[in-house]
Amino acid sequence: MTESRYGPTEASGVWLHLEYDGEKLEGVSRELLGKGRELADGLRVPVTGMLLGTALVSVAREAIAYGADRVLMAQHPLLDPYTTDAHARVASQLIGDGKPDILLLGATPNGRDLAGRLAVRLRTGLTADCTDLGLEQESGLLLGEVVGFGGGIVASIKCEQHRPQMATVRPGVFAEPAPDEARQGAVEDVAVDLSDRDLRVRVVERSVQRSAGITDAELLVVGGAGTGGDFALLEELASLIGAELGVTRVAVDAGWASHERQVGQTGYVTRPRLTLVCGVSGAQQFTVGIDQAEVVLAVNADGEAPIFDRADYSVVGDLFEVLPAMIEEARAALQEKETAGALA
Ligand X SMILES: Cc1cc2nc3c(=O)[nH]c(=O)nc-3n(C[C@H](O)[C@H](O)[C@H](O)COP(=O)(O)OP(=O)(O)OC[C@H]3O[C@@H](n4cnc5c(N)ncnc54)[C@H](O)[C@@H]3O)c2cc1C
Sheet with 165-169: strands ordered across: 126-130, 165-169, 102-106, 14-18, 47-53, 70-75, 186-190
Strands 274-278 vs 295-300: parallel, antiparallel or unpaired:
parallel
Interface pick for ligand X out of 262, 290, 296, 298 (rule CB under 6 A) = 262
Q: Which is nearer to ligand X, 111 or 226 (CB)?
A: 226
ω into 164 cis (within 30 of 0) = yes
C-beta separation of 251 from 273 below 8 A: no
CA dihedral over 112, 12, 135, 122, signed as positive or negative: positive
- Min separation Cβ 142 and ligand X, Å: 24
Angle at 298 between CA 265 and CA 257, to 5 degrees: 50
Q: Which stretch binds ligand X (CB under 6 A): 2-10, 187-195, 208-216, 257-265?
A: 257-265
Interface pick for ligand X out of 142, 281, 290, 308 (rule CB under 6 A) = 281
Nearest to 286 by CA among 320, 311, 319, 256: 311
Q: Which is nearer to ligand X, 141 or 225 (CB)?
A: 225
Does 285 interact with ligand X (rule: CB under 6 A)?
yes
Q: Which is nearer to ligand X, 301 or 327 (CB)?
A: 301
Nearest to 290 by CA among 272, 302, 305: 272
Q: Which is nearer to ligand X, 112 or 121 (CB)?
A: 112
- Min separation Cβ 290 and ligand X, Å: 10
| Binding-site string for ligand X from residue 202 to residue 231, where x marks contact by CB under 6 A and - marks none | ----------------------xxx-----
Q: Which is nearer to ligand X, 117 or 320 (CB)?
A: 320
Strands 70-75 vs 186-190: parallel, antiparallel or unpaired:
parallel
Q: How many residues bind ligand X (CB under 6 A)?
A: 27
Binders of ligand X among residues 289 to 308 (CB under 6 A) are: 299-302, 305
- Rounded CA separation 229/223 (Å): 9
Residue 87 backbone dihedrals phi, psi, to 5 degrees: -70, -40
| Binding-site string for ligand X from residue 144 to residue 183, where x marks contact by CB under 6 A and - marks none | ------x---------------------------------
Binders of ligand X among residues 18 to 77 (CB under 6 A) are: none
> 91 vs 111, 119, 183, 261, CA distance in Å?
12, 11, 26, 31
CA dihedral over 324, 325, 326, 328, signed as positive or negative: positive
Q: What is the DSSP letter of 144?
A: E
| Binding-site string for ligand X from residue 311 to residue 340, where x marks contact by CB under 6 A and - marks none | -------xxx--------------------
- Min separation Cβ 160 and ligand X, Å: 28
- Min separation Cβ 256 and ligand X, Å: 10
Chain residues binding ligand X by CB under 6 A are: 150, 224-226, 248-250, 262-267, 279-281, 283, 285-286, 299-302, 305, 318-320
